[in-house]
A and B are shown apart, each in its own frame.
Chain A
Amino acid sequence: MSREDDYLRHEIRRFLHRFLQPGQTPPDLREAEARADRSVERNDWRVRVDLYFHGTPVSHHVLIQTPAWFRPNELREFYDIRALTRFVERTWYQIIEDRAVEDQTRRYREAYEEARRADAPETAALYEGLMRVERHARRYHQYGRSPVEALSIDALNFDEMLIDAHRAITAAPPRTRQMTATEVRARERAMSDRMTRIERDMMLQMLHGAEALGYALASNGRSLGITPEAEAKGMILLKENLTPKQLKQYDEHKYFDVKGGQTGTTYRIHHGRQMNIHALNMFGNKKFGLCFLPQGNLCHGDTMLAQKLTLELQEDEALRIGNRF
């Protein structure tokens, strides 16, 4: 990749981050077009990106003014203008997905902070869930981040949160008199029991963390601008195209199993849009998680159907594109 490629990549990401305002429902992108034009009067190159949306006749144009050192014949990745167009579309959806995950992480963090302040019994479980979501977000949802925001991502320090939580639990009560040896032993035993309970709860929650996260993310549909009617239509389409066995499984458990077309691996697709697929081993236990979804902010039914069809018919593509967790 050349300096020119890097420049375009950086500028397009910066523009899309500005364009997709946080907290707003993103417009539904129909297609993007990018092309490079030579400006005669300025004797330099400009890159024009056109965005066309569904449901609105208005398209959006942006001109990227290239610097003096920019030489189009030095482009490697974006020499083919179609590659640039694909990059715009891919980045668009990545940013939307990144923001959805960020939103869920923020909600998880708020719930954890609230439970910690109230010294609620679910503090440890929420902390474990938060760590899991945060790890996933750091690992897979930073490439769409704007160049400026990316500088501050490491400012999040969850280890400090854990230390604070343990400090709050083990803080000694104010001493009004010297405790007897029996009282000291009783207090130590109580503290030990409490820590054991927290550790046990953390272990249990780790087992259920992925499912909980799947449901948490599943509720994100509304913030992506998916209407209840679309959700209902998507579920009908999904159920129309499940095998009888899969349909029975889904109705009973809210998940269904599919067989990988190439490797024969069994995958379990849970109700959800992200982090909802697990590969199973021969004993039916989770082997690894796989996260991929169709572009375009589709509803849950469509997303799960796309995941099923890809695993059954194009498993290699699912394994190539999907992120493991």
Chain B
Amino acid sequence: MPTQIVMDRTGDSRFQFDAAAPAEVTDAEKRFNEMIGKGHVAIDMKDNGTGKVIRKFDPAVETTVFRPPLIGG
């Protein structure tokens, strides 16, 4: 089941959705756009630890990790 993972103060928040259920897909797309709007970067993560940046919501992506914006330390 596709999962969206948002890094946050609790470690992470995970949101699963059923790609065959239109209502859940709509919610997931809304969440995706909301996170992008806040400056997060969405990354399509693969099982082998590699990933790629995605700019548009794709319900077929199995695991999406949202990385918050960066600051210099």
Give A residues with C-beta under 8 Å from B: 28, 31, 54, 90, 93-94, 97, 140, 225-227, 229-234, 236-237, 241-244, 246-247, 273-275, 291-299, 301-302, 305-306, 309-310, 312-314, 317-318, 321-323
Contacts and interface: CB of A to CB of B under 8 A. Distances in A.
B10 A229 contact: yes
Given A313-B52, A313-B53, A322 B11 contact: no
B70 A318 contact: yes
A309 B43 contact: yes
B7 A305 contact: yes
A291 B5 CA distance: 24
B35 to A, nearest CB: 12
Contact of A314 (B8, B53, B71): B53
Given A295-B69, A296-B9, A310-B67, A31 B38 contact: yes
Given A243-B48, A243-B49, A310 B11 contact: no
A140 B51 contact: no
B11 A97 contact: no
B12 interface: yes
B61 interface: no
Given A241-B51, A299-B11, 11 more contacts: A54-B9, A93-B71, A230-B10, A243-B48, A292-B71, A293-B70, A294-B70, A296-B8, A296-B68, A298-B7, A318-B70
B44 to A, nearest CB: 10
Given A241-B65, A310-B67, A291 B11 contact: no
14 contacts: A93-B71, A230-B11, A232-B11, A237-B65, A241-B49, A243-B50, A247-B49, A291-B72, A292-B71, A293-B71, A309-B41, A313-B53, A317-B70, A323-B72
Given A310-B67, A314-B53, A274 B73 contact: yes
Contact of B7 (A236, A247, A294): A294
B11 A237 contact: yes
Given A243-B49, A294-B67, A302 B72 contact: no
Contacts of B70: 292-295, 306, 310, 317-318, 321-322
A264 to B, nearest CB: 15
Contact of A312 (B5, B51, B68): B51
B45 interface: yes
Interface string B18-31: 00000000000000
Given A295-B69, A313-B53, A321-B71, A28 B9 contact: yes
B7 A237 contact: yes
Contacts of B65: 237, 241, 305, 309
